[in-house]
Amino acid sequence: MLSPSMNKNLLMKSLMIMIMSFYPLLTSPILLLIFLMLLSIFMTMTIFILLNNSLIPIMFFLLFLGGILILFSYLSTLCPNEKMKSLKPSLLLMMLLLSHLMLTPNLPYPKNNFYLSSSKINSLSMLNIFSSHIIFLMILILFILMVLLNLLTNKWMGPLRLLK
């Protein structure tokens, strides 16, 4: 019988192996952006399940997403336009199968599994009344920063644009 801490440890090790197995597929900034967004969503859900608190995971997600958007905007101004290479279906199938095997171990699930009992968490508690004002303020700040960064990169004299 596995304890919940052993389940968490096994899940994190499997996740890290899955991340390392997908790394060769990341050939363009767009694929890297999508992969990092999926990873941040997974980490947000994991932190929410572990802490049963909505403020910290949402702050983590918004901060991480804002950093990714700024980094992606900066890289898109520096990199030339490239076509994304198509992936071979056999390689993609192998990576999906490997990730499935890594995330579903052949160990028996205990009756008091933390992740299985987490379905009791109320889904509306992610946006409770106490943290909704802070979340709205953070979304507004990130939106303003994204608009300002976009205006800055569209100018010819901006620091992120190459001189001609």
CA neighbor of 10 nearest in space, from 112, 97, 104, 100: 104
Helix (H, G, I), strand (E, B) or coil at 79: coil
Q: What is the DSSP letter of 107?
A: S
pLDDT for 122 equals: 45
pLDDT for 51 equals: 72
Amino acid letter at 91? L
Give per-residue pLDDT as tens, 89-125: 666 666 666 655 555 555 444 445 455 444 444 444 4
Q: Which parts of the chain have pLDDT scores under 70?
A: 1-30, 49, 75-138, 148-164
102 touches 14 (CB < 8 A)? yes
pLDDT for 39 equals: 72
Extract the tokens encoding 96: 């999906």
Helix (H, G, I), strand (E, B) or coil at 129: coil
Task: Find the Cα–Cα–Cα–Cα dihedral 63, 114, 5, 65, rounded to 10°.
Answer: -10
| C-alpha distances in Å from residue 23, one per residue of 28, 32, 47, 49 | 11, 9, 23, 27
Q: What is the DSSP letter of 24?
A: G
Extract the tokens encoding 48: 């929410």
| pTM for this entry | 0.43
